[in-house]
Structure 1
């Protein structure tokens, strides 16, 4: 899946996003702000009365015997409707530009944008918190947890029980993700009813920078997130190949940097100095910087001769890879 904005990470750009808590099962939606109004991250912008669903009979599952539900059964289980009123907070420094027909609030902000390869869950806002080794313990409401390495099924359960609003991680195995969600991932990503189906998934928003597998988050992304420790953020996990949706994390530039800033415009050219990810072969998932472009085609162990570039990986290892295996990140 390609990135709509060009790069997976854009340090500074002007964005407009609809603040919408997700789903369509609302009895009422009341905007609390008006167009032209400036908003703060912790400011409530929408009041909703939501109808949540609870399974009539809890399911039983074990770590070794986890069943997957089809999307039809996930969207039509034996459920009980429970109305509940709640506030949706802005999550961004910015200015309200419009109110949408469904009651959402469009906010314009100067922000850092990080897009993931895969995600699940509605838009949530909270405080960015770095996870340190050990068990995930109870967190403050609205915590967005950053786990630089691969995420496991055990950590997912711990995060859910700890009251975490969202998790940003490097990757996850297909077995662990499907076991936690109890749906077929490919059917989920291809569905046109992604918001409706998400209402019946665990209430934990997830974003994976590297997608499915056992890959750690690139050091540059991990370091960037570390620099925003404690910052208010807006995270969306909705992912759809059919609707061209990718998960993203929005971090408004600090208030003192909102006035003096320079937007960054993505450049997809594979040039010397470009930060790239390797998408196939022995070094799949590795990231680094292009430091040499060969003038002539290079021959690889497979016998194929093609245009190639030398990449200096983040650990200092130089590797030669085909140009077609590279994706520019920044």
Structure 2
């Protein structure tokens, strides 16, 4: 006969650990998109991140503004009648700095999300993949615009301080800002596409630098060869194969800028339409590639 007693089951206890239903305002998809945009824009300058993350973008920002400040100081001291640098030329002259900034910040914007597989966390909120792409694209383009437009503002304010012709300086400043806006959207899209192709930040940095620097150097070299060979008619067509030369050709054709192509052989309005179409195709294509890249990420 079994004399062992059956033990009674332990009593069930319910612990109140403080979970409550959320009773606040549901801010929705638009708020999520705006928040991602603002955080990405702040992150492009290291704001809200570690002190080490602020060093490079702030140094590059200073390097972009410093030449403009020196030009203004000299113009005011010598009472010059015009600035020695056109507003539309500044971005082309500082293109290596812009490329370095883009190479450092585009991978930071998207590579970490790919490497740490955080897309599923973003999509657990009421935002779509298109919202993520738009926020990141807009933030990168805005960060570039701030970087390049700041020295133009310094030049413009300095020209007014030096009492240069107001209408001429305002016209040149407006043309320069239009060029900067197009450049920012174009470069931002290309940089994000290259950075999003790999979760490894180092590869993204190398890809952006190689694409922007090597393409511009190769196009400039081929253009010089064409000029030396008395084939100046093809110089403008070679400009279609580099992002920086595309901007150069666009502002030469439509914004009254002086071309930096060899011999000043920039495109006219007819060829300028081709430049505009290529730039538009690259911008739309960059967005489409980013959407395709993130279509299955995080699933």
Q: What TM-score range do you get, normalising by the shorter chain? A: under 0.3
TM-score by length of 1: 0.21
- Structure with bigger helix share is 2
> TM-score of the superposition, structure 2-length normalised?
0.22
Bigger-Rg structure (1/2): 2
More strand by share: 1
